[in-house]
Amino acid sequence: MRKAFFMANWKMHKSPHEAKAFAESFKRPQGNCDIVVCPAFPSLYASLSKDYALGAQNIYPAEEGAFTGEVSPGMLRDAEVKYVLVGHSERRSLFGENNDFIREKFQALVDAGLTPVLCIGEDLATRQEGKAEEFCCQQLDAVLKGSPLPSDLIIAYEPVWAIGSGQSAKANEVQDMLHMFREYLSQLIGSKKAVTARLLYGGSVNRDNISKYLAQADIDGALIGGASLDAEHFADLIARGCEAHE
Ligand code: PGA
């Protein structure tokens, strides 16, 4: 059985003081699961806790050098970060990141011994054209084909129209999509790795809808934005998700 995985994406929220307050009040619920919190860079240190692992929202794919404003995988590893988001739709749409650059980032993270969490997902127009599956498989292909893979492969399916909109995707539709991804991954990277890969759903997840996702066979966890900002809500969400997954 794949261990449940819950990842908080705080985006551009929480100053170091606010992050510290979260870390002090978060109470890890019972249950065998991985919990990761991704604060903004200045709040990483203040977010440290024994109750969850640290993640980061971005990296630049180089070890060091003249890249003003950027942060390397090695720096983050030294700051206790274990996981890093790559390919989030906000990075793709607001900051022009394409599949080639996402592939570079993914590989730089694997080289540095960090675990990338690869985000994929279609926008509304692509879905309405009936091309969501094809589009997401191309995103998987572009990054994973022939790449070195982390021992813990984690992929988050986040349909763009569901992110921050309050319009979460239907659990059975997410299940169908992730099941198809697992079959596709099987061809791409081999069935052994496809079976152990953890596939997450993201997009308007909260404590009231988490259980129906985690009860599905191929949904191993969630990437949570807005509903991860409150320590009590996030802990409750994890407790319910874990229970549904068991
Ligand atoms: P949301 O964000 O939970 O606020 O929809 C999810 C994400 O962007 O990772």
Q: Which of 5, 7, 9 to mutate to test the pocket of ligand 1 (most atoms within 8 A of CB)?
A: 9
Which pLDDT does position 1 carry in this prediction?
A: 84
How do residues 14-40 score in pLDDT, each as one tens digit?
A: 999 999 999 999 999 999 999 999 999
Q: Give 190-196's long-range contacts (Cβ < 8 A, gap of 24+).
A: 193/149, 193/153, 196/2, 196/153
**pLDDT band of 84, cuts 50, 70, 90:** very high
Is residue 224's pLDDT more than 90? yes
Q: Which residues of 42-81 are buried (b: 16+ CB within 10 A; e: fewer)?
A: ebbebbbbeebbbbbbbbbbeeeeeeeeebbbbbbbeeeb
CA distance 225 to 11: 7
Q: Which of 120, 123, 158 to mutate to test the pocket of ligand 1 (most atoms within 8 A of CB)?
A: 158
**pLDDT band of 6, cuts 50, 70, 90:** very high
Active site residues: 88, 158
**The model's pTM:** 0.97
How do residues 110-161 score in pLDDT, each as one tens digit?
A: 999 999 999 999 999 999 999 999 999 999 999 999 999 999 999 999 999 9
Which pLDDT does position 32 carry in this prediction?
A: 93
> Is the CB of 225 inside a 6 Å radius of any atom of ligand 1?
yes
Query: What's the mean pLDDT when you consider all of the chain?
Result: 97
Ligand 1 nearest-atom number relative to CA 90:
8
Which pLDDT does position 100 carry in this prediction?
A: 98
> Is the CB of 87 inside a 6 Å radius of any atom of ligand 1?
no
Residue whose Cα lies nearest atom 3 of ligand 1: it is 225
Q: Which of 13, 157, 205, 210 to mutate to test the pocket of ligand 1 (most atoms within 8 A of CB)?
A: 205
Phi, psi values for residue 161, rounded to 5°: -70, -15
Report CA(220)–ligand 1 centroid distance (Å): 17
> Is the CB of 139 inside a 6 Å radius of any atom of ligand 1?
no
Catalogue the E-assigned strands of the chain: 4-9, 33-38, 53-56, 81-86, 115-120, 154-157, 198-202, 221-224
